[in-house]
Chain A
Amino acid sequence: MTLDPKSPAHHPAHHPDEALLLDYAAGSLDEPTSLVIATHLALCPDCRRVVAGHEAVGGVLLEETAPVEPAAGALAALMTLLDEPAAPPPVDASPIPSAPILPRPLRDYVGGDLGAVPWRKLISGIDVHDIVVGSAPNRFKTRLMRIKGGVAVPRHTHEGFELVMVVEGGFSDGGRHYDRGDVTCSDGEVDHSPVADADGGCVCLAVTDAPLRLTGPLMRLLNPFVKF
């Protein structure tokens, strides 16, 4: 397989923890984190295979679930519904771009491809766009971040959990490099400061489940409005 991350056949090198893939396959994962996992799956045939294995386990567990007799007449009622036409599929308002950067399902949540993202400036060199996930307010923040080439994201730690996937370009953090499709997950123990690639910067999808603390010297000043 080609190693060029710009090639459409590039396979990610950094994958989500298997436990997250299992949560996703079992259907127990929250919607924001599921969005990151599903977007990674669009770019990662390897993890799709892992999830297929988890689903096979789900199939066996379903077959072994203690059966509960359906209500009387359930089958007869169902048989009368078979000829009813299915509700028409929802009209897809946004036409499929020929070579989209954002894979589905991310494109659906954003409402278009990368070019359609209504960025707002967070601080110099960093733009963000918050994605609405789920109808009820929740403790997660889901956002796209666009980081200019060579810009370092302010040093920070997490009280909770942060899952980041590279959508375009790349960044380096703690001696590792992340390209399109690569995922990194951090929790309270990690104090890190990712730096976007000098050539072209980086667009990431990030989900956090708690506000992060900035630990650099200047960051206390930024804290009131830098809420990643």
Chain B
Amino acid sequence: MPATRALVLDGVFAFNGVMSDVPPLTALEVTVDGVARATPATPESSLDDLVVAVARNRDRAAFAALFERVAPRLKGYLMRLGAGASHADELTQEVMLLVWRRADAFDPGQARAATWIFTIARNKRIDGIRRARRPEIDPHDPALVPDRPLSADMAIESVEDAARLRTALRDLPPEQADLLRLVYFEDQPHSVIAKTLGLPLGTVKSRLRLAMDRLRRAMGETR
């Protein structure tokens, strides 16, 4: 299988190496959706489990393992988005510190840990590289219109979703995959990307929509 597979395996080895002298994580039998999750058997569940261990027990070994797994990706992400190596180290440290401090805000019933960490890293780079504020909703705002009750088939983001999502990303037509990566890694909105590439705005919009439709289908969702 292609490169992504190798990255996943890397993750497993890093995880095993660091966690070998740490007692097994037992505190994660059941998640809010009532489904038993495997203890660190797959790289996806273990990342979630590490954050949960940090939240529940202020577990430094789990945090160190999390760092080994995540920090190199964070640094790569921040450098890809324009930070120099030492600035990227600095920002990586700040992201990981937020992960430590906010771990109890992580809800494995809502999203995967990788997704949660992505949002922290994204906001940190907007603040640290672009020097702008990030307007965000406040979940406790009385003006917030509450979520619709979830029906049974509207599953939350799960480990299985991530595996399917990875496959779907790999299988996107190149012109969709390339555009999507530009949106995530160039700090430019699609309108600017369209201009830069000399593509009609409508073409860019429809390619992105097609890409997202495919990825949503992979996650078992339709808009």
> Does B68 contact A75, Cβ atoms closer than 8 Å?
yes
| Chain B min CB distance to A38 (Å) | 4
| The stretch of A100-108, A190-198, A210-218 that contacts the partner chain | A100-108
Q: Does B118 contact A69, Cβ atoms closer than 8 Å? A: no
Which residues of chain A come closer than 8 Å to B75, judged between CB atoms? 67-70
Across-interface contacts of A103 in B (CB, < 8 A): 137, 141, 143-144
Minimum CB distance partner of B121 in chain A:
A62
With a CB–CB cut-off of 8 A, which chain B residues contact A86? 101
Q: Is A41 an interface residue (CB 8 A)?
A: yes
Q: What residues on A are CB-neighbors of B191 within 8 Å? A: 161
Q: Are A70 and B212 in contact (CB under 8 A)?
A: no
Contacts of A161 in B (CB 8 A): 191
A104-B134 Cα distance, complex, nearest whole Å: 12
Q: Is B28 in the interface zone, CB < 8 Å from A?
A: no
State whether A56 touches B165 (Cβ < 8 A). Answer: yes
Contact of B204 among A19, A42, A134 (CB under 8 A): A19
Q: Which residue of A lies closest to B63 (CB)?
A: A82
Contact A48 B147 (CB under 8 A): yes
Query: Is there a chain B Cβ closer than 8 Å to A125's Cβ?
Result: no
CA distance A23 to B142 in the complex (A): 26
| Distance of A1 from chain B, by nearest CB (Å) | 8
Q: Does B119 contact A (CB under 8 A)?
A: yes
Whether A145 is near chain B, meaning CB under 8 Å from some CB there, is no
B-chain residues with CB within 8 Å of residue A187 when the two chains form the complex: 201
Is B212's CB under 8 angstroms from A22's CB? Answer: yes
Query: Given A53-B219, A60-B165, A82-B63 in contact, is the A34-B183 Cβ separation under 8 Å?
Result: no
Is A45's CB under 8 angstroms from B146's CB?
Answer: yes
A18 & B212 in contact (Cβ 8 Å cutoff) = yes
Partner of B219, one of A39, A56, A68: A56
Q: A9-B146, A63-B11, A100-B141 are in contact. Are A74 and B115 (CB under 8 A)?
A: no
The number of chain A residues with a CB under 8 A from chain B is: 77
- The B interface is mostly helix, strand or loop, or mixed, namely helix
When the two chains form the complex, which single residue of B73, B137, B180, B187 contacts A42, counting CB atoms closer than 8 Å? B137
Give B149 Cβ to nearest chain A Cβ, in Å: 10
Give B127-146 as 1s and 0s: 1 = Cβ < 8 Å from A's Cβ atoms. Answer: 00001111111100111111
B133 contacts A31, C-beta separation under 8 Å? yes
Out of A17, A28, A49, A97, name the residue touching B188 (CB < 8 Å): A28
- Inter-chain contact A58/B136, CB cutoff 8 Å: no
Within 8 A of B (CB), among A16-72: 17-20, 22-23, 26-31, 33-35, 37-39, 41-46, 48-50, 52-71
A149 and B141 CA atoms in complex are apart in Å by 29
Contacts of B114 in A (CB 8 A): 59-60, 62-63
Q: Is the CB of A57 within 8 A of B205?
A: no
Q: Interface code A191-225, partner B: CB below 8 Å = 1, 0 otherwise?
A: 00000000000000000000000000000000000
Assess the B145–A71 pair: CB atoms within 8 A: no
A81/B97 in contact, CB under 8 A: yes
Is A75 within 8 A of B64, CB to CB?
A: yes
- Chain B residues whose CB sits within 8 angstroms of the CB of A55 once the complex forms: 111, 115, 118-119
A34 to B127, CA, bound (A): 14
Given contacts A38-B136, A63-B73, contact A58 B122 (CB under 8 A): yes
Q: Are B186 and A28 in contact (CB under 8 A)?
A: yes
Please determine whether B60 and A82 come into contact, CB atoms closer than 8 angstroms: yes
Which residue of chain A is the closest to B123 with respect to CB atoms? Answer: A27
Interface centre among B101, B190, B209 (most CB of A within 10 A): B190
Question: Given known contacts A22-B183, A23-B189, A57-B215, what 16 new A-B pairs fall within 8 Å (CB)?
Answer: A1-B148, A18-B212, A19-B190, A27-B123, A30-B189, A34-B135, A42-B137, A57-B180, A59-B115, A61-B185, A67-B75, A69-B75, A71-B89, A75-B67, A82-B63, A82-B100
Instruction: Give me the interface of B with A, judged by CB distance under 8 Å.
Output: 4, 7-8, 10-11, 60, 63-64, 67-68, 71-77, 79-80, 85-86, 88-89, 92-93, 96-97, 100-101, 110-112, 114-119, 121-123, 125-126, 131-138, 141-148, 157, 161-162, 165-166, 169, 180-181, 183-191, 201, 204-205, 208-209, 212, 215-216, 219, 221, 223
